[in-house]
Chain A
Amino acid sequence: MSDIFPKWTNRLPLQILAGGAVTMASVVAGVWYYFTPEYTRVGYQPIQPVSFSHNIHVDQLGMDCRYCHNGVESSWYSNVPSSSTCMACHNQVLKDDPKLALVRESAASGKPIPWVQIHKTPDYVYFNHAVHVNRGVSCVHCHGQINQMDEVFHAKPLGMAFCLECHRQPEAFLRPPEEVYNLNWRAENPTRQLADGARFVKEWDVKKLENCSACHR
């Protein structure tokens, strides 16, 4: 009786097992990395209809975030400024600059400028800007060093795990209210941050909001 299966097939189950394990591991690793906001969102930097530079306006000219994003303290939504807000300065400054043609046109015609959205939470997340900035959470935590960006890009993943980092340990992130809009501010050292943060948590009655209901309605 001849062999139906040649000798080398004896090793086949092991090889399949090993190969399968490697494949599985790479699939898991791939999904782990590539399917997360860490990869899919961070770095997103679309070209905007007007090449607005936060770097020039904030770091070089020293403007406050709230001059343009004036709804941030009272609304869930931090508004993109209207064209008329831009024109408040730009009817004096760089008033014939070709880069600002669209802004001037928009202000004159009433047609809005279609800014491309970068930061966005899913529809089932009810993020609220006002409650964060009024309670010692700075813009920089979620938006990165936007004051240094010439073109805005998505700096942080903004996934649920990202939110929970802070919601589980608010003391590591809270800062004095007057430094919320100072994107360059850092605590002197991590120990100081934790000590001050813990004081804020106590004095302001900050809760570690890990309930589903905090964000999902």
Chain B
Amino acid sequence: MSKTIPPACPEPESGPTYWRSLEQLAGTPEFREWAEREFPEGASELRDDWHRRDFMKLMSASFLLAGLGLTGCRRPVETIHPFAKQPEGYIHGVSKYFATAMPARSSAIPLLVKSHEGRPIKIEGNPEHPLNAALTDEAGHKHGGTNLFAQASILNLYDPDRARRFLFKGQNSSRARACDALAELAKKFTDAQGKGMCVLMERSSSPSRARLQQALTAKFPQARWFIYEPMDGALAGQAAAQAFGQAVRPLYRLDKARRILALDADFMAADDDSYLLIRGFAKGRRLRSADDDMNRLYVVESLMTVTGANADHRLRLPSSQVAPLAMFLTAQMIEAGGQKDTTPGAAEFVSALLEKSKGLPEVARTWAAACAEDLMANAGSVVVLAGERQPLEVHLLAHAMNFYLGRQAGAVSYVADVTPPAGTIVELATALNAGEVETLVMLGGNPAYNAPADLDWPAAQRKAGTVIRLGYFEDETAPQCDWHLPLAHYLESWGDLRTADGTLVPVQPLIEPLFGGLTELEVLARLGGLPVTRPYDIARETFKLAVGDAEFEEKWKRYLHDGFLAGTAAPAVQVEIDWPAITPAVLGLAVPEVPTAQRLEVAFARAYSVDDGRYANNGWLQELPDPVSKITWDNVIALSQKTAQELGVVVVDRNRMDLSVPVLRIAVGNRTIEGPAWIQPGMADGVVGVTLGYGRPRAGRIGRGVGYDAYPIRTSTGMGFASGARLEITNRKFPLSCTQNHWTMQGRPVIREANLEEFRKDPGFANAMNLHEPPGPRGPDGQPKPAYPNPLDTAKLEATHWWGMSVDLNGCVGCSACVIACQSENNIPIVGKEQVNRGREMHWMRIDRYFAGSVAEPQVVNQPMLCQHCEAAPCESVCPVNATVHDNEGLNVMAYNRCVGTRYCSNNCPYKVRRFNFFDYNRRPITELYKSPLVSFTDGEWELKRWFKDRDRGSRPQDEWDLVKLAKNPDVTVRMRGVMEKCTFCLQRIEGAKIAQKIKAGASADVAVPDGTFKTACQQACPADAIVFGNLRDETSRVSKATASQRTYKVLEFLQTKPRVTYQARVRNPNPKMPDYHAQPLTTREYLDAGGTLGHHGDGHAAGYGHDAKGETKGAH
């Protein structure tokens, strides 16, 4: 036995400083030195190389790796640093989940967040929350979806470009001094009664914030409060208050609706509660058998949106013309609805509405008449939604229609709105320009970037005496502020929120603020000079007001554990429509002319990926293909084909490697913007679709300068859309990176669809579209015999589980939350625009989007595409090194360490789901992929030398690297250059569940994982609950039942790859009386036109996982 003598014991380290208390943090000499140091030169600009951020040294994640540099003879000596005192209940290596909630403007998303050794790593929805629990299906399956922003928000926590310091007039300051400054203000304004104090906030549902606002108003009666959201969903609430004469806001239960009408409302993507609305919508379309009923979605819209893509009937209409259409519809309903309103003035109202809607194009009129008839036939279970682009008047009309048609079945209800009053940013700008603002406090927001252009916000802001801002980034607004305080992420904050139904939900931190940020609550409390300033205490005080003193601690614990306070949902309020309030408002609306190519209408939309710009520095979202256009890393100026032709805009996409489009200039009045052109199928003619949230000059190293900025043409009078725009074509070209440029399936039955009547007649229609199998020998069961026996056929008989997935295309709306969830769970890197252009995006799951029919009026279909885990996998037979093989439970697994990167597997994959690491995307910044280590420098050190010292780190700057590592899921290997990867069916979760079950089983044979024990990342994130995963060997499992559906088919089934992923065909529910009715879905039409037939052949309805001895397909039905 040889003894190795390691170097002397290193000084025991205190471990990472991430989750130490702030007091400790502030006490360390390094911190003090950093905090007090003079403002480093040039650091006020956001540059790529923040070399001098020594602060990160303090943060270096050296635990467990402390001795890495002390290389011994055999291998690096690593040390284990156990706790000096073990926290109670903590077991190293066992992840914990905490219930919290993410703020979503006027609402909140209830969440469960996975914490691994003190750092949050994955976000999931909270299935126990009453809103989610109410949608539990008959079988008792619980589900809580999220949206893609919730999934991606975890990356914001680990964003190296976050505001990390306290700044006073551009100089580094400290938390203590900032707090002193706030205390001084409190004192000053106590004497002045708050005169001259203005607070600008973002919209929030936090009861604590509302309470503090009240407390401050009591103390500073003359202080003024303002709220600004560039994309504000609160308009529906304001309209409701006006329409019903009391402070109420609507609550929609789409699962109870049989007919849904969206008036320019992209409720599936651009709504605070989109996750919930999608869930309800999908539930209303779930078809277990041919007898089930499903809802019907009518959409009127100017742009092509995710909601429009899922419409049964879609009318493309400029946003300005939605108002006359709504008037026409309302008139139809009041007049002919069979429930004639006897209120005085109703008849006059109807005739006035009809008069005002005269300018409506004839096409729209016939469409609306047939739609109105259908809506009235389903009175009682109709929901009408108006979008955020639409003016208040359209929202009033939507409420009027809901009042008539939606209340009885509970699809629409009204709950009390408790938001404290606040002014608008226009009023604030007026006050600023009048010199009335002595101190401006901004809590969040980024008005210098996104305020209406006519306000000239930066100039107005400078007129305030002092500006104090709490911001998440040192962004466009930051340079003009006197004080800039770092905002804590919601995963670092104590607080509370209310979800859509009014239920109180806690916001509890999973980690101490990484950079010592403050929360809104703390800043408000200090500003008001209140005795209680700790956000934790503030949230508890608010909670105490809700539950009282009795058994407070127990209730508090329960509240934090559950993630909500049961029974706090706002009760439904009985409302009566207030015609006198509506009538003049609606009739006073000036309807612009129908736009033309010469007088265009600009419609503003929030970006699907970066929202209003707040997620611009989030790499996952930047690289997410837009659900409609499939463009990454850019926003475009969208035009309909007809308008583009009229204007001479030509977008050639000869091939994907060189997608270069002309740059357009849009002028509204004397304001102009420039951006790349894009022809979007399904756009309304005469409309220019611009996406907000891009083109940020100071977003950070990911988002800086990505896309063009559309805010400069958005004014306070045209927040939704602007009329009278002109368009010019510049002679410049701009490259775009689009992940799916081909629009059609060219008649191939990749996605299968039928209308509801057809489905009822022939529930097995999907398999009627199966192609003939290739000729060749057949086995005893009539199935084609493979050329070679598949070892899995016998191996799987031994397996306890046969993992499989079923995707219900009737539920999937294409929102892409699953894509981000997969990225977060599986450590998928981003690759950058240039690499995406080369087809090197790494997403394991993609959403394929196809258009069918004409470019003007297409039908859209979406299909999540991931590794199909073929039982007879073509990738495996071509791998020369056995790096991709099957396990006996049916997973097509990748052994990364075996992979030598031939990419044969990817070439042989018919589904094109394999992804190759062309570069070490994790270790290199995406801007430096092609840089040789011989000529590059990182943190001021020669790359090669630095690499020699620390081979692990790669060429990322230190601050970036530490945070990149923190964001990774430790249960999944981080892949390096030269290896292939692809969907693993969340192998880590499968193995985790199997191990947990085996531990439970101990000395018994109870090792089968019970159904529903775990979910894959995509399944768990899916707001539509459209993905089912589980054990196909268990006939009672959800996935077995879903797979047994008559709509089940396999993609490219004729290749005999026997995928373990099956799809349930989509069913449309069109109305035969509509002018745009098609007797067959257009994809089916295309299929038939391409020579396809609807004859039944091949295997029957079962998807090929019969439970007979051989595990082969059961015969045809």
Contacts and interface: CB of A to CB of B under 8 A. Distances in A.
Contact of B15 (A49, A73, A112): A112
B84 A82 contact: yes
Nearest to A109: B84
A200 B9 CA distance: 45
A79 interface: yes
Contact of A47 (B6, B885, B1002): B6
A112 B82 contact: yes
Interface in A116-143: 116-117, 120, 123-124, 126, 128, 130-131, 134-136
Given A45-B2, A116-B79, A40 B84 contact: no
Nearest to B995: A131
B973 A123 contact: yes
Contacts of A187: none
B74 interface: yes
Interface stretch (A13-21, A51-59, A162-170, A206-214): A206-214
B92 A83 contact: no
B93 A75 contact: yes
Contacts of B1002: 134-135, 177
B837 interface: no
A185 interface: no
B590 interface: no
B80 interface: yes
Interface in B877-899: 885, 887-889, 891, 893, 895-897
Nearest to A50: B9
A213 B889 CA distance: 10
B4 A46 contact: yes
A49 B81 CA distance: 12
A84 B83 CA distance: 8
Contact of B66 (A45, A82, A114, A211): A114
A203 interface: yes
Interface in B1-54: 1-6, 9-10, 12-15
Interface stretch (B428-436, B1003-1011, B1049-1057): B1003-1011
Nearest to A105: B12
A80 interface: yes
A110 B83 CA distance: 8
B732 interface: no
B934 interface: no
Interface string A82-108: 111100000000000000000000110
A60 to B, nearest CB: 21
Given A45-B1, A83-B84, A135-B998, A111 B895 contact: no
Nearest to A136: B1003
B85 interface: yes
A41 B891 CA distance: 33
Contacts of B999: 73-74, 130-131, 134
A33 interface: no
B735 interface: no
Given A49-B9, A117-B80, A205-B1007, A213 B991 contact: yes
A115 interface: yes
Contacts of B92: 71, 75, 77, 79
A121 B12 CA distance: 24
Given A83-B85, A112-B12, A153-B1, A213 B995 contact: no
Contacts of B889: 211, 213
A115 B82 contact: yes
A204 B1004 contact: yes
A116 B990 CA distance: 33
A47 B6 CA distance: 7
B971 interface: yes
Contact of B1003 (A81, A114, A177): A177
B85 A107 contact: yes
B761 interface: no
Interface residues of B, number: 60
B800 A75 contact: no
A116 B1 contact: no
B951 to A, nearest CB: 13
A114 B12 contact: yes
A76 interface: yes
A7 interface: no
A74 to B, nearest CB: 6
A200 B999 CA distance: 15
Contacts of A106: 12, 84
A71 B90 CA distance: 9
A216 B4 CA distance: 30
A83 B86 CA distance: 8
A118 B930 CA distance: 39
B1111 interface: no
B82 A81 contact: yes
Nearest to A153: B1
Identify which of B798, B889, B973 gathers the most chain A CB atoms within 10 Å of its CB: B973
A190 to B, nearest CB: 22
A217 B80 contact: no
Given A134-B1002, A212-B893, A213-B991, A113 B1 contact: no
Given A124-B896, A213-B891, A216-B897, A114 B81 contact: yes
Given A45-B3, A207-B800, A84 B86 contact: yes
A70 B889 CA distance: 32
A73 B891 CA distance: 28
A46 B988 CA distance: 33
B84 A107 contact: yes
Nearest to B77: A116
Contacts of B893: 211-213, 216
A30 interface: no
Given A71-B94, A74-B999, A107-B84, A115 B79 contact: yes
B344 to A, nearest CB: 71
A212 B895 contact: yes
B1005 A112 contact: no
A46 B10 CA distance: 14
B83 A71 contact: no
A32 interface: no
Contacts of A44: 4, 74
A159 interface: no
B229 interface: no
A167 to B, nearest CB: 13
B91 interface: yes
A83 B1 contact: no
A113 B2 CA distance: 24
Contacts of A213: 887, 889, 891, 893, 984, 987, 990-991
A70 B93 CA distance: 12
Nearest to A110: B84
B885 A83 contact: no
A203 B93 CA distance: 29
A130 B995 contact: yes
B77 A46 contact: yes
A217 B885 CA distance: 13
A120 B75 CA distance: 11
A41 B988 CA distance: 28
A120 B1005 CA distance: 30
Interface string B891-916: 10101110000000000000000000
Given A79-B92, A111-B14, A217-B984, A212 B1007 contact: no
Closest 6 CB pairs of A and B: A211-B887, A77-B93, A75-B93, A205-B1005, A112-B81, A114-B79
26 contacts: A41-B74, A44-B4, A47-B6, A75-B91, A75-B92, A76-B93, A76-B995, A79-B93, A80-B80, A81-B82, A82-B86, A84-B83, A112-B84, A113-B84, A117-B78, A123-B973, A126-B971, A128-B995, A130-B999, A135-B1002, A200-B1003, A204-B1007, A205-B1005, A213-B887, A213-B891, A217-B972
Given A106-B84, A217-B984, 6 more contacts: A82-B84, A114-B79, A115-B82, A134-B999, A135-B1001, A212-B893
